[in-house]
Amino acid sequence: MQISNFPFKAVLWDMDGTLIDSEPIWIGEERRIMESLGATWSKEDALYCIGGPMSRVDAYMRSKLPENKREEFGEYDLTRILLNSMVERFKTDVPFSPGAKELIDQMYEAAIPMALVTASSRAIMEGALTSIGTHYFKTTISDADVERSKPDPQGYQLAASTIGVPIQDCLVIEDSITGSTAAIASGAYLLGITHSGPLPSAEKVCHVENLIALELSGIVELFQPLLVKN
């Protein structure tokens, strides 16, 4: 099946929280690790860390430790523990975010080129891909593939160039402030999912609360006014 009026040459998917419902798993593992070290971990702490990058998450986690514990952990020690735990968790079935499976299936059936772009490690991404399926994507980009991860646009720009399409003609789907910032800076169009809270706005951005019941025709309708302007 092909859709003749789909205006984007490729769709670049964020992974955590956008394509897969992994944020509760991340938050649960963060809380378990921090509480085991005598620290508290609130919803606000978890929201601050959504979208990475790991350098920011690591510094923040260490700042939340009790003072008598901080010297025990060097740079990236806590996130190394977190990542190892998440790799094991991702070896089991990871659920799609609501509406994401139906939408990505529509895109695949319509032969729309797609990429997966994540600030997570390649080990975590590959673990998740065992549940998602590798067949959807022309390329996959992890934090190991770029010098600067989100909020830098390098990952999205690399995905577009690898597929062979201009980034200005791509649609990014994101759910975090960090990822949205990267998408906007890349020059792509952005479909921002606001289920975790408000996201940045810009000239080439549309927002939806979630992907439930969203179809390709709905994306065309959402972006049509912006495409006319540009």
* pLDDT tens readout for residues 91-108: 777 899 999 999 999 999
pLDDT, tens only, 176-190: 999 999 999 999 999
Percent of the chain scored above 70 by pLDDT?
Answer: 98
Selection from 89, 120, 112, 105 nearest residue 14 by Cα: 120
Domains of the chain: 10-21+95-229 (3.40.50.1000), 23-90 (1.10.150)
**Three-class DSSP category at 29:** helix
The string of pLDDT tens digits covering residues 215-229 is 999 999 999 999 887
- Cα Rg, the chain, nearest whole Å: 18
Residue 50 has pLDDT above 90, yes or no: no
Predicted confidence at residue 196, as pLDDT, reads 86
pLDDT tens by residue, 136-177: 999 999 999 999 999 999 999 999 999 999 999 999 999 999
Q: Greater confidence, 49 or 156? A: 156
Write the CA distances from 191 to 94, 162, 168, 203, 228, integer angstroms. Answer: 23, 21, 14, 12, 17
* Higher pLDDT among residues 5 and 167, named by residue: 167
H and E: helices and strands count for the chain: 10, 6
Angstrom distance (rounded) from CA 73 to CA 61: 10
Task: Please tell me the predicted confidence (pLDDT) of residue 19.
Answer: 97
- Tell me the residue type at 149: S
The conformational region for residue 51 under phi > 0 = left, psi -120 to 50 = alpha, else beta, is left
Is it the case that residue 210 has pLDDT exceeding 90? yes
Mean pLDDT, the chain, as a whole number? 93
Structure token digits, residue 79? 């996130």
Stated pTM of the model: 0.85
